[in-house]
Structure 1
Amino acid sequence: MRALVIGLGRAGLAAGRLLSDLGYETHGYDRQENPKLLNEISDLSKVFTGLFLNSDPDELFADLDLMVLSPGVPPTCGPVVRARQSGIRVLGEAELCLARIDCPKVGITGTNGKTTTTELTGALLRCGMGDVAVCGNNGQPISGFFSNGKFPWSCCVAEMSSFMIDVLDRALFNVTMILNMTPDHLDRYGTTEEYYRSKIAFVRRTAPGGTAIVNLGCPATLGFLPELGKLAFSGGFTLAGFVGAGKKWDENHLSVCSKRAVLTEAGIEIFTAGTDETIVVKPWKRRIPGDHNMENIMAAVLAGQAMGLSCEQMEQGINSFNAVEHRLEPAGEFMGVRFINDSKGTNEDATVKALQAFEGPLTLIAGGYDKGAAFTDLAGAVARRSETAVVLMGMTARKIEDSLVSSGYGGPISMAQTLSQAIDMAMRLTPCGGTVLFSPGCASYDMFRDFEERGRIFKALVADLSSQDNSGSQGAIDMIAASARSKVKLVETSHDQ
């Protein structure tokens, strides 16, 4: 048997190892012959029989049994199109793995909150199910959790990007989850409608007898609710909905969602239609801030309940869970100003939610790679806050500035050429007792390898502030940036950023 892996990042390498363990003669292809791949050629050669780096792999097609796509590889990629035209089976890395996993599987998607909720759901399930693999779009490929072709875990919780969903064809999850939907990745999908449909398609991947969880406080999701109800009925699975703090429940939704979770003074109450059954989970000792994180907790609780966990087990998981790196992560304090690393804020809705999590004087550092967002929601959120300053950087700096001015925002706006300069400016703008929030609202590709590198450099800069004099000189901060880059280990993530 012969297989070809498209895309040789972390997931591609892990998929190659799995295919080799499964008995395939495995080849690898990547259209970019970049320095990182060339530096890793010895590692790649240990896994792949043949390598095609920016060279045509069509010579394999005459005797190719399987093509596997790394996350982020578009189905319109040339070799993928030619493989399908030739009748060659094409699978995403996720489906290659999920079809070989016999234990319960939970899949989680959404525009924002995926990684936090994936890690949180894993923490809850570990309290009742033992060894749980938390993997997928969180930077830990599913294929990397196999050993000698076997999956030695009691449960799989997988973060799924829209790109991964686009090449997933089978109903393989016991629980699926769509946390929210706001416009994103318009550079790939063209329209918001197409992006939303990519997300909504995920409920089709719920196995019969399973549970699909949706956010009924999300306006975009509500627009698809009749369709979701029909999919649940035809697919033989339960549709469950949750409503976050300050959002009203429409009783008419109960005819579509047979299970609902609402936040009350008692806690997270879960009701089941047609029964008197009500359970209450108390999340009051949570360690992750913000109303959006309460919604993430509610979604995780519905997943835990669907998987048979007790209230006590779920509360244990909630109370012990800490913030995930690069998601509203405390990065330190200097001269009475606290710094928050939200580098995973890669779209404007994520940054809006981050702004809502803090009170008092705040300086926002934002800007980055342009994915086609208009930034009107972000500008409105900034304009509604008092005592807020903004430092902009990257490709979208002027675009965000224009939206801020159009929104009526009258506070200070500074333009930075580098992240180190942005931190220097933010320090000058933020009073003692205030917050510097690094939540770019954009992808990282214009200035950094990925959001992880961006976040780690930010944290390194903040950590080194206290070792510098208080002059705030640009030269000193630039020296910190150079030092930070030398200390950061570059890691490859999937492309839903």
Structure 2
Amino acid sequence: MRIADLAGRRVAVWGFGREGKAAIAAIRARLPQLALTLFCSAAEVADAGAFDAALDVRGEEPDAAALSAFEVVVKSPGISAYKPALLAAREAGLRITSGTALWFAENPQAQVVAITGTKGKSTTTALLAHLARSLGVRTALAGNIGMPLLELLGQEAPLWAIELSSFQTGEAGALELGVITSLYEEHLDWHGSRERYIADKLKLADVSRRLLVNALQSSLLERTARHPQRLLFGRPEGWHARGKVIHRGEHAVFDAALLRAPGDHNALNACAALAALEAMGFDATKAAASLADFRPLPHRLQPLGKQGGLYWINDSISTTPQATLAALGSLQGQAVTVIVGGHDRGLDWSDFVQAMRGHEPHLIVAQGANGARIAKALREAGIDHLREAANLDAAVAVARELTPSGGTVLLSPGAPSFDQFHDYAERGRHFAELAGFDSHAIVGIEGLGIA
């Protein structure tokens, strides 16, 4: 469905975040006379009216009856496609689309690399754009990484580096190359089950002419084995990291120690980006030197600096236990206090607990809504370098008191932020403030848009 197909229809937009605003603006630009209804929270009604005075603004979550008054709903990504009201309305004939789906319909010829994965997708997407631009290729960087695709409607680029969340993979149109960086359980509250989350992630494979996947994940290899044009990164024959060096086959290309984004997982993200660049016909070996210039994304193993004799690292984007393990793996040999916990989505922490039995950090501080559950599992496993705290403020106070001078305090929660904060970015900024840093210095992701 293209935007022009909305003409003459009863259309509602659901969600007034950045994606919702982008959808309203794009529809207004193409169909200025179309009547639009917006469903948003009661707290957003005034802002929505100021944003577009012609909107029929309803500060409520629609039920099936409210949705049935429309022919098309343009849904924001954060609204689960499995809400009962949406499912019932769809059965009754409602057409559900999104900003992502509308953009793909408007740009069928765009050369798109769409990147998803439980972890690594944002960094890999930004790395791809950075590498391509180092070769002089005009590249778009957009999607879930921080710029809705519809904000770039009408603009062209030879290469599109697009991040897609699991909420968006089923909304993409046909594209040249799909990339899956990793696959663990996450967002169970949106998808409803682990199986549905994985199935939704893998919808990217269905629309990708070629598919690039992480060769180090056996389950991902098994689930994508039937793709007719599957490519791999992370194996010795292609782009892989070995002995702290990034290789193309047997050829050593780049010293991973020069990466400003630390950890083996970021070296693997670099391999994914290089493999994607190569798959799109560009000289990845030539571009590899520019990896040294890539600035780590905010809230992703972001070194804040030293305060009070301690080093502070903001990894607030960590929303799975596996991400926390990767963060700890990048700090081996250091005295680390790690702060874990947050919104409880019911994720399985057993792998984290097992890993801690052999490689405990100096201290684990469990906080937030699932902190007690994490702490209980750790204690039952005999792990005693542990404290509990009610919230992030209290956790930072504990970490400051008990971390030895010269040690590191790592915020890598392994859980979403919604028990205490609006999103992971707000959590990361608050952590920086608690540590004594200027949170305003944590800027957004650089390079969004077309350059």
The structure-2 alpha-carbon separation of the partners of 1:155 and 1:240, relative to structure 1 and needing over 3 Å to count, comes to same
Q: 2:357 aligns with which of 374, 383, 392?
A: 383
SS in 1 for 2:422: coil
Aligned to 1:185: 187
Say which SS state the counterpart of residue 163 (structure 1) adopts: coil
Residues 247-281 of structure 1: CA distance to partner in whole angstroms, max 9, x if unpaired?
xx6xxxxxxxxx8433346954446xxxxxx8764
Q: Distance in 1 between matches of 2:169 and 2:59?
A: 26
Q: How big is the shift at 1:316?
A: 3.7
Q: Secondary structure at the match of 1:323?
A: coil
Corresponding residue number in structure 1 for 2:261: 288
Cα 1:122/1:56, change in 2 over 3 Å: same
Residue 253 of structure 1 is matched in structure 2 by: none
Once residues 447 and 77 of structure 1 are traced to their aligned partners in structure 2, the CA distance between those partners, rounded to angstroms, is 24
Question: Aligned residue for 2:120?
Answer: 113
Gap change, CA 1:464 and 1:206, over 3 Å in 2: closer
Label 1:270 to 1:464 Cα distance change in 2 as closer, same or farther (>3 A). Answer: closer
Between the aligned partners of 1:183 and 1:13, the Cα distance in structure 2 is: 30
1:85-164 alignment, distance < 5 Å: 85-101=91-107, 102-128=109-135, 130-146=137-153, 150-164=154-168
Q: Which residue of 2 aligns with 1:451?
A: 424
Name the CA distance, whole Å, in 2 between partners of 1:335 and 1:174. 50
* Residue pairs, 1:281-430, within 5 angstroms: 281-284=253-256, 285-359=258-332, 360-411=334-385, 413-430=386-403
Q: Assess, with a 3 A threshold, how the Cα gap between structure 1 residues 154 and 460 changes in structure 2: closer, same or farther.
A: farther
Specify whether residues 300 and 99 from structure 1 end up closer, same or farther in structure 2 by C-alpha distance, changes over 3 A only.
same
Q: Per the alignment, in what secondary structure is the counterpart of residue 381 of structure 1?
A: helix
Cα distance in 2 for residues equivalent to 1:141 and 1:216: 30
d(CA) in 2 for partners of 1:488, 1:304 = 29
The residue type equivalent to 1:164 in the other structure is Q
Distance, in Å, in 2 between the alignment partners of 1:262 and 1:55 is 47
Give the TM-score normalised by structure 1.
Answer: 0.79
User: Does residue 241 in structure 1 map to residue 232 in structure 2?
Assistant: yes
Task: Say whether the 8 Å CA contact 2:213–2:221 is kept in structure 1.
Answer: no
1:331–1:463 contact (8 Å) kept in structure 2: no
Conservation of the 8 A alpha-carbon contact between 1:366 and 1:438? yes
Cα–Cα, structure 1 residues 79 and 489, in superposed 2: closer, same or farther, change >3 Å? farther
Aligned AA (1:395): A
Partner in structure 2 of residue 216 of structure 1: 215
2:436 to 460, 463, 474: 463
CA distance in structure 2 between the aligned counterparts of 1:151 and 1:433, rounded to whole angstroms: 49
Change (3 A) 1:219 1:190: farther
Aligned residues of 2:368 and 2:392 also touching (Cα < 8 A): no
**Which residue identity does 1:27 align to in structure 2?**
L
Q: Is contact 2:22–2:99 with CA below 8 Å preserved after alignment? A: no
Letter aligned with residue 344 of structure 2 = D
Does residue 6 in structure 1 map to residue 14 in structure 2?
A: yes
Describe the SS at the equivalent of 2:21: helix
Q: How far apart in 2 are the matches of 1:418 and 1:229?
A: 44
Distance (whole Å) between structure 2 residues aligned to residue 203 and residue 213 of structure 1: 9
Q: Which residue of 2 aligns with 1:478?
A: none
Contact 1:7–1:28, Cα closer than 8 Å, also in 2: no
Q: For the aligned residues, what is the CA RMSD?
A: 2.9
Say which of 21, 30, 33 aligns to 1:22. Answer: 30
Aligned to 1:442, the other structure's residue is in SS state coil
Secondary structure at 1:446 match in 2: coil
- Counterpart CA distance in 2 for 1:56 and 1:419 is 34
CA displacement, residues 417-458 of structure 1 (integer Å, 9 cap, x when unaligned): 232221121011111221100011100001111101000111
Identity %: 29
Alpha-carbon distance between aligned partners in 2 of 1:120 and 1:77, rounded to the nearest angstrom: 35
Specify the code of the residue in structure 2 equivalent to 1:71.
Answer: P
Of 94-103 and 327-336, the range deviating more from structure 2: 94-103
Q: Is the partner of 2:225 in helix, strand or coil?
A: helix
Are the aligned partners of 1:369 and 1:442 in contact in 2 as well (CA < 8 Å)? Answer: yes
Q: Describe the superposition over 1:148-202 as per-residue Cα deviations: whole angstroms up to 9, x where unpaired.
A: xx1243322111111112344x32x211111111122233334333322222221
In 2, the alpha carbon distance for the partners of 1:344 and 1:26 equals 38
Q: Which amino acid aligns with 2:21?
A: L
- 1:80 aligns with 86
Deviation for aligned residue 1:214: 0.6
Residue 476 of structure 1 corresponds to which residue in structure 2? none
Q: Report how far residue 304 of structure 1 moved.
A: 0.6
Name the TM-score, length of structure 2 as normaliser: 0.87
Deviations 1:54-98 (A, max 9, x none): 16596786674x432211222233553355334443222211112
Contact 1:20 1:26 in 2 (8 A): no
Question: How far 1:460 sits from its partner (Å)?
Answer: 1.9
Return closer, same or farther for 1:447/1:488 CA change in 2, 3 Å cut-off: farther
Contact 1:45 1:51 in 2 (8 A): no
The yes-or-no answer on 1:262 pairing with 2:240 is yes
Give the counterpart of 1:38 among 42, 45, 50.
45
Check 1:463–1:313 CA distance in 2 against 1; reply closer, same or farther (3 A cut): farther
